[in-house]
Structure 1
């Protein structure tokens, strides 16, 4: 019997975080681009920043071409990115505008 194969110690359950369902793609960035991204989001959030920027650009280009909206996932990510970029005052204005539209519809 192997030292690590005792009854009750073998588990098929995977450990760690769930998979991101992404495929690795090599992207070449200049040092200036890397520094600018790191200044904005930190070194450990670079991949997420690049994915969010790509999602926003996909939506922009599809709209520019007059195509239908992108997938729901891309739209949600872009909305979150836009919300996070808003100042607190801009968020309050947006909320007020949505509430005004709701009262107009009623």
Structure 2
């Protein structure tokens, strides 16, 4: 039997360009705020990406981690994207085979 633990979940947005206002809350200021409020541990995932890239690895995994720790956070856990995980690749290949069947005759 699994024991479910309720944990708070918050969506935040990244990679705003220029001074224009964008979708909020912005990731880095939110993490800084949480650390200042006493949050010690966060787990961060980027569900909008199938593969890690500059945005996930540099901006989130490094820069946002540094911001959280600078403000008093203690543990920043980055959960990587699916990348080239064998189960993910096999599942995607199966979907392609199913949905592309008959396209090339």
The TM-score, its normalising length taken from structure 1, stands at 0.27
Which gives a bigger RCO, structure 1 or 2 (Cα 8 Å, sep 6+)? 2
Q: Which protein is richer in helix relative to its size? A: 1
The TM-score, its normalising length taken from structure 2, stands at 0.28
